[in-house]
Structure 1
Amino acid sequence: MRIHISSDGVPIYQQIVDQIRTRIFSGGLNTGDELPAIRTLAESLRVNPNTVARAYRELENDGLVEKRRTTGTFVAETTQQRSVAQRRRSLEPHLDNLIIQSRHLGFTIDDVVGLLMTRDEKLSGENPSEKASGS
């Protein structure tokens, strides 16, 4: 699994969570797919195993992955099978961050909605693999 870690101020565990979450929602990872072992991923990213473990715990808390005792961590049921309430809960932290950042930058909620609509139109014009990778 290829994960890119940047030094843009976003915590490393959050970058891992975001990239795995994106792959699950975009279909790059399917129900039952096994994630790399914590140590393996930590070594390839050159990060502390606790960082990867924290990311996996957050994904598990969101219901996106499940740990199977002694066999590893696997992608859980697809998003479509999860309830609307569960899907909203997994989106709420991102919305909170967006609102907080927009307030700090002096944008109104109407400005943010306009920006979201513009980005959605732009992303809708890209092919699905570009959208999933964030290109």
Structure 2
Amino acid sequence: MSRRTPLMLHIVAGDSRPIHHQIVDGVRRLVASGALPLGAALPSVRGLAQQLTINPNTVARAYAELTAEGWLDARAGLGLFVAAPRQRLADAERTRRLDDAVQRFAGDVIGLDYSAQDILSRAASALEAVLPHPEPARKSA
């Protein structure tokens, strides 16, 4: 039996997002950053529900969404595993989701009285922390 990778997720009661969205976003972030490597086994629905002290149906809903989007592979009798990277969404859907996220973000920060440069700098730092970094090309001698 493969060893399950514990998920270091933080569920925030005051967050405007439903709990299953917080789980989905957290797993996406862990996979994108490499903290959950390809093939890593995730906790069972019941195990993660107990860890987070939430309803198992909430975890099952999040796992189903992640599987449908291609982030996770379900293996009968074995559990859920991080899927190999692939184009998870059609280009039009990716564009629509990015536009929606940017509009929500802009709406959330507009009243905080920061300059556009400060906001962009912090957003860039947050993305750098979670996006994988390609290895620099080495020059041959």
**What is the Cα deviation at residue 101 of structure 1?**
6.0
Distance 1:70 1:57, change over 3 A: same
Superposed, 1:1-135 pairs within 5 Å as: 1-7=7-13, 8-78=15-85, 82-83=86-87, 86=90, 89=93, 92-93=96-97, 95-100=99-104, 102=106, 117-123=120-126, 131-132=129-130
When normalised by structure 1's length, the TM-score is: 0.70
- State how many pairs are aligned: 120
Which aligned segments of 4 or more residues in structure 1 are displaced greater than 2 angstroms?
Answer: 83-95, 100-107, 114-124
Distance 1:16 1:98, change over 3 A: same
When normalised by structure 2's length, the TM-score is: 0.68
Aligned AA for 1:83?
Q
Distance 1:12 1:121, change over 3 A: closer
Q: Would you say the 8 A contact 2:38–2:83 is kept in 1?
A: yes
**What is the Cα deviation at residue 97 of structure 1?**
4.0
Distance 1:18 1:121, change over 3 A: closer
More helix by share: 1
Partner of 2:4: none
Greater CA radius of gyration, 1 or 2? 2
Between the aligned partners of 1:2 and 1:18, the Cα distance in structure 2 is 12
Structure 2's unaligned 5+ residue stretches are: 1-6, 131-141
RMSD: 3.1
